[in-house]
């Protein structure tokens, strides 16, 4: 296993595995026995960075979520897991009532919600401190200062370690970080956005965001990441939910002429290296000049082993250049 450092404060930063494990469907679509086996195998391989959210997976049974955090709590207790495993969770997108959605009825990012939701997550996970806590989606109804101060209070109290942000416009992220810096408060240091080798259109609605842009690490966000060396990008859906293997699963916003050119190069490099296309995608993210940690969910041990093997796949500079410039 290889590792990266997240966070800039020497007293608060963490060393995490270069490949994060997504637990979104654990405890719901992925049963407990399978989930525990996946978590155990990941840890045995040196993995220590697990991702969840307080709203996972509300859409599976019409609930408000929490199944994934609860399962991780049971796994931690049964295995005697301590703070050697970094568990990241998110708040802000939990539906306020069963049968509703975060798109029309989200909990939001008020100071009250931040405190109460973080406390519920700590209880479900069975931890005294949340290692990394994200603002899951934006909340334009709450002043950003209130949100920034709400998160910072939990860090000051020692119930939260690092802070992150997901699915917000780059200018909103910068504004929140500027507010925090001006007040001498901790700000967002980890960015979680969808990022893969194939590129989506941002001028059409995506599967998750009506404006087609907020969830993706587009040029603006990647430029921001490059200019701020203390930031890390955690790239969710790096394998596009199986679309590299099953073309019929390709999201509609990836259906454009540039997709085939990049697919072609991926398959060429896969043949040259003897790796799978999925492994080439992950290696391309892992070994680039930007600090990117792929976050991949799996439903079987074979999928997990395939992903873990990508950590040791080395691309040549010529292969990387071909992957970078294909369009």
| Catalytic-labelled residue, pool 42, 56, 193, 254 | 56
pLDDT in tens, 131-189: 999 999 999 999 999 999 999 999 999 999 999 999 999 999 999 999 999 999 999 99
User: Helix axis angle, 317-325 relative to 257-273, nearest 10°?
Assistant: 170
* Contact of 1 with 45, CB cutoff 8 Å: yes
pLDDT digits 0-9 by tens, 204-248: 766 666 665 578 999 999 999 999 989 999 999 999 999 999 989
**Known catalytic residue at 188:** no
Residue 134 structure tokens: 């994200």
Interval 49-55 mean pLDDT: 98
User: Picking from 99-113, 177-191, 273-287, which range would have the lowest pLDDT averaged per residue?
Assistant: 99-113
Alpha-helical (H) ranges within the chain are 32-44, 58-61, 67-79, 111-125, 144-157, 170-182, 219-227, 257-273, 277-286, 301-309, 317-325
Q: Which three-class secondary structure state does DSSP give residue 12?
A: coil
What average pLDDT does the chain have?
95
DSSP state of 129: S
Query: What is the CB neighbour count within 10 angstroms for residue 301?
Result: 14
What gap in Å lies between CA 25 and CA 262, rounded to an integer? 29
pLDDT at 210: 61
Q: Output the CA torsion sign for 129, 134, 140, 143.
A: positive
> How much is the pTM?
0.96
Which among 79, 81, 89, 70 has a CA at the least distance from the CA of 48?
81
Domains by residue range for the chain, with CATH? 3-252+282-315 (3.20.20.100)
Question: Is residue 138 within 8 Å of residue 176, measured between CB atoms?
Answer: no
Q: What is the structure's pLDDT at 101?
A: 86
pLDDT of the residue at 204: 74
């Amino acid at each position: 296993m290889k590792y990266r450092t997240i966070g800039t404060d020497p007293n608060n930063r963490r060393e995490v595995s270069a490949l994060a494990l997504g637990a979104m469907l654990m405890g719901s679509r992925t049963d407990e026995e399978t989930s525990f086996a996946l978590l155990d195998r990941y840890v045995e391989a040196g993995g220590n960075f697990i991702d969840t959210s307080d709203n996972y997976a509300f859409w599976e049974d019409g609930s408000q979520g929490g199944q994934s955090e609860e399962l991780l709590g049971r796994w931690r207790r049964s295995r005697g897991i301590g703070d050697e495993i970094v568990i990241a969770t998110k708040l802000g997108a939990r539906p306020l009532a069963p049968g509703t959605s975060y798109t029309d009825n989200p909990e939001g990012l008020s100071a009250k919600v931040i405190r109460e939701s973080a406390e519920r997550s700590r209880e479900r996970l069975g931890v005294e401190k949340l290692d990394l806590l994200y603002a899951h989606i934006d909340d334009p109804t709450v002043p950003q200062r209130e949100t920034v101060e709400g998160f910072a209070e939990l860090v000051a109290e020692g119930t939260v370690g690092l802070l992150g942000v997901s699915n917000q416009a780059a200018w909103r992220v910068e504004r929140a970080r500027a507010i925090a810096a001006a007040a001498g408060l901790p700000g967002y240091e980890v960015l979680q956005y969808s990022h893969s080798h194939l590129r989506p259109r941002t001028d059409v609605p995506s599967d998750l965001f009506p404006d087609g842009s907020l969830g993706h690490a587009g040029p603006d966000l990647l430029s921001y990441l490059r200019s701020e060396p203390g930031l890390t990008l955690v790239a969710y859906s790096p394998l596009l939910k199986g679309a590299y293997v099953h073309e019929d699963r390709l999201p509609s916003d990836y259906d454009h002429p540039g997709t085939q050119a990049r697919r072609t190069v991926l398959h060429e490099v896969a043949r040259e290296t003897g790796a799978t296309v999925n492994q080439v995608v992950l290696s391309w993210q892992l070994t680039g000049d930007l600090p990117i940690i792929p976050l991949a969910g799996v439903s079987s041990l074979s999928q997990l082993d395939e992903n873990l093997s990508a950590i040791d796949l080395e691309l040549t500079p010529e292969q990387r250049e071909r992957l970078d410039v294909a369009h």
